[in-house]
Amino acid sequence: MVENCLFCRQQRPVTGEGLLIRGYFICAACEAKITLLYREDPDYDFYLNGLKKIWHSPGDGNCEIMAEEFRLW
Ligand SMILES: [Zn+2]
């Protein structure tokens, strides 16, 4: 299991903050960044590509729920 943030490589805090989805960790800071992300944002593609890695990983099924959560669809 990857315990470093998918985006900024920050190690998962022992407090358990952030998201853990299918073995991928997204830290609280990046989670907040993603939820505030807009298509015009220069970082948009970077974060979207990272999320696609999770969406396209084996065991698909709840992609739409995630997409809704991050408002990126
Ligand atoms: Zn991060």
Which tokens hold the place of 4?
A: 């470093």
**How many Å lie between the centroid of ligand 1 and the Cα of residue 56?**
20
Look at 8 and 64; give whichever has higher pLDDT: 8
Question: Angle 56-63-70 (CA atoms, 0-180°, nearest 5)?
Answer: 110
**Whole-number pLDDT of residue 61:** 52
**How many Å lie between the centroid of ligand 1 and the Cα of residue 25?**
8
The number of beta carbons lying within 10 Å of the beta carbon of residue 56 is 9
**Whole-number pLDDT of residue 8:** 95
**What protein residues have CB closer than 5 angstroms to ion ligand 1?**
5, 7-8, 10, 27, 30
**Whole-number pLDDT of residue 20:** 86
Span 17-72, pLDDT tens digits: 898 888 889 999 999 998 888 889 999 999 989 988 887 776 555 555 555 566 55
For residue 73, name the pLDDT band (cuts at 50, 70, 90). Answer: very low
